[in-house]
Amino acid sequence: MKPFLKWAGGKYRLVDLIVKSLGQGNRLIEPFAGSCAVSLNTNYNSYWINDVNNDLISLYSIIVGDDSGFNSLIKCIERWFNNGNNPATYYQARNQFNQEKNLIDKAALFIYLNRHCFNGLCRYNLKGQFNVPFGKYKTIHYPVEELQTFRSKLQNAKFTCCDFRDVMSNADKGDVIYCDPPYVPISKTSNFTAYAPGIFGPADQRDLVTLAEEVSGRGITVVISNHYNEATKELYKNSEMIVFPVNRSISCNANNRQAVEEILAVYKQEAKT
C-alpha cells in the first residue's frame, strides 16, 4: 500500500527487498520513519514509529488518534485541496504553516504542502521554517483513502519524536529495526540533511553503526539503507552488504535522474549468552 505522503528517497518500491532482509520478528522499529512505507507494507505484531521531525510525528498522532481529531483533519485538508493548486494559495499555505499553532490545522497544511511542493521534499531553513517551492503539477492526488489505510494499519503503533540512539537502545529481543537515515552524500554538492532542524553528520553515521552492531549482539536484526560508495563500504564493513541499483534523484533536471547504487547493510547475530 502506498503512503499518503510523497517522500524523497521513499522506500515503497524496495519494500520486498527490505522485508526479506529484516526477516521475522514481533515488533518493527523505524527510528527514521519518513513516510512509513516499510511499516505500512509489513505484518508485524506491533510497531514503533519514530522520527526527529516533530511536524511529521504530530501529524501521524492525529491520524491514529480519536475520531473527532481525524475527522477535523480531513475537513481541513479538503478546504486546502479545493482549488488550491496554484502558487498564490501554496505560498499562503506555506506562510501559515510556518506560523500555525493549532496542531490539526498545521497537520492539514503539512499534507497540502507535501502534495503540492516541488518533488515532495520536506526541507526547513535554519530558522526551522518549511521552505520548499511550489511544484507546478498539472494534477494533484488527494490521498484520502491512503490516510484511512494508514489510520487502520497503524492504529495501535507507538509514535515518538526523539533521537535514534534513544530508540535503538530501548529495543527488546524479538524486535527488528529498519533504519533509513539521511544518506551519506554522493558528492560534496549533493548533501541533503535539512529534513529537520540540525545536521546528521559523519559522527551520527558512525554512532548508528556502533548501535547496530551492539543491538544485533542481543539477537535483534538491524537493516540500514544508504548510498553505496567508498565511504559506506568502509562504514558498513562489518555488515552483510546487499547492493542494488535504483533510479532516484531530487534534481530538477530530468537528464540527471539516472540510476545510482544503494546498499542495505544487514546486522544479524545470535544473541550472546
Q: Specify the pLDDT at position 258.
A: 65
Q: Which three cell numbers stand for residue 11?
A: 522506500
Which phi-psi region, left, alpha or beta, contains residue 23 (left: φ > 0; alpha: ψ -120 to 50)? left
> Smallest Cα–Cα separation from 191: which of 202, 206, 180?
202
Q: Specify the pLDDT at position 194.
A: 52
Strand, helix or coil for residue 148:
helix
From first to last of the 273 residues of the chain, give the pLDDT tens digit. 899 999 988 898 899 999 999 999 999 999 999 999 999 999 999 999 999 999 999 999 999 999 999 999 999 999 999 989 999 999 999 999 999 999 999 999 999 999 999 999 999 998 999 999 999 999 999 999 999 999 999 999 999 999 999 999 999 999 999 999 999 987 654 544 455 556 789 999 999 999 999 999 999 999 999 999 999 999 999 999 999 998 765 444 555 556 789 999 999 976 655
CB 38 within 8 A of CB 30: yes
Strand, helix or coil for residue 189:
coil
Q: Look at the chain and count its residues.
A: 273
Q: Which three cell numbers stand for residue 259?
A: 540510476
What's this model's pTM, rounded to 2 decimal places? 0.91
- Residues facing 179 on adjacent strands: 224
CA distances from 171 to 139, 164, 205, 207, 212 (A): 42, 11, 19, 16, 11
Residue type, 100: E
Strand intervals (E) in the chain: 27-30, 46-50, 158-160, 175-179, 221-227, 240-247, 259-267
